[in-house]
């Protein structure tokens, strides 16, 4: 079943066409990864799917499976420094006035799941980048969404922390439907079920490959070759 169906989509940003007649489908439980050069419209496509770029859509349609909720996990963790970690995780309930003992217990459980049990007493400014992103991941899980749009959520982290967060997201979001934007070919190969390249010229979106092995994947020679192929195609798209 398709949970997101983008058909004949044309998107314009700042009076500049990003792409035209783009088709894309996200299947239930699938992790689709979107790569491409900066400025081709990857984040704009995510924002359009989230309903944040309606004015930029000049043609086509985006259909979300009825009753399916969408959550966003971005590069910037978006933590509120005046809130403690538990209230940051249960932010949706904090803002809606629905916070109670049950939501607090759920937030606490999620913080334990993402490995933050030793840091609950700390204010946000004392957390490392990786720790902050763990809290952001817990906040995303708290929303109980069916579809997660991930916009380079690990790109600002060091290499080891990035791998750890990829593993954690792969475990905790395993059953979700994911659309991940990344500039990192290695991340794409580790996490994606389907890998797409978004280009500045037709065909704007092309499926590069599909995997059937469990994620996150261990690094093998074949995946290294695919990473090199991704890098080569990205370089060619810049010419």
- Rounded Cα distance, 80 and 94, in Å: 12
- Rounded Cα distance, 80 and 86, in Å: 11
- Rounded Cα distance, 198 and 39, in Å: 10
Confirm if 172 and 110 have CB atoms less than 8 A apart.
Answer: no
Question: Is 239 exposed, middle or buried, given 0-12, 13-18 or 19+ CB atoms closer than 10 A?
Answer: exposed
Class of domain 2-69+145-237: alpha beta
Q: What pLDDT is stored for residue 210 in this prediction? A: 86
Q: Is the pLDDT of residue 174 over 90?
A: yes
- Rounded Cα distance, 81 and 106, in Å: 21
| Count of C-beta atoms within a 10 Å radius of residue 95 | 11
Domain ranges of the chain: 2-69+145-237, 80-143
Question: pTM, whole model, 2 decimals?
Answer: 0.90
pLDDT in tens, 87-129: 999 999 988 899 999 999 999 999 999 999 999 999 999 999 9
- pLDDT band at 166; cut points 50, 70, 90: very high
Looking at the chain, the whole-number percentage of residues with pLDDT higher than 90 is 71
Q: What pLDDT is stored for residue 130 in this prediction? A: 95
């Amino acid at each position: 079943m398709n949970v997101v169906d983008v058909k004949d989509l044309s998107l314009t940003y700042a009076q500049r066409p990003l792409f035209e007649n783009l088709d894309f489908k996200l299947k239930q439980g699938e992790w689709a990864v979107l790569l491409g050069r900066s400025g081709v419209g990857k984040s704009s496509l995510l924002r359009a799917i989230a309903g944040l770029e309606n004015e930029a859509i000049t043609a086509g349609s985006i259909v979300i499976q009825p009753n399916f909720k969408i959550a966003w996990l971005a590069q910037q963790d978006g933590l509120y420094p005046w809130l403690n970690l538990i209230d940051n995780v249960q932010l949706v309930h904090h803002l809606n006035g629905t916070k109670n003992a049950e939501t607090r217990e759920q937030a606490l459980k999620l913080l334990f799941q993402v490995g933050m049990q030793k840091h609950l007493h700390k204010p946000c400014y004392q957390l490392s980048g990786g720790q902050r992103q763990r809290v952001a991941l817990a906040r995303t899980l708290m929303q109980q969404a069916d579809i997660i749009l991930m916009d380079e959520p690990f790109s600002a982290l060091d290499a080891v922390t990035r791998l750890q967060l990829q593993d954690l997201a792969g475990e905790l979001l395993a059953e979700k439907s994911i659309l991940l934007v990344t500039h990192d070919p290695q991340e794409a190969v580790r996490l994606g079920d389907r890998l797409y390249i978004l280009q500045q010229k037709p065909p704007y979106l092309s499926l590069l490959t599909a995997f059937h092995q469990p994620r996150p994947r261990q690094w093998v020679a074949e995946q290294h070759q695919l990473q090199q192929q991704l890098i080569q195609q990205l370089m060619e798209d810049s010419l």
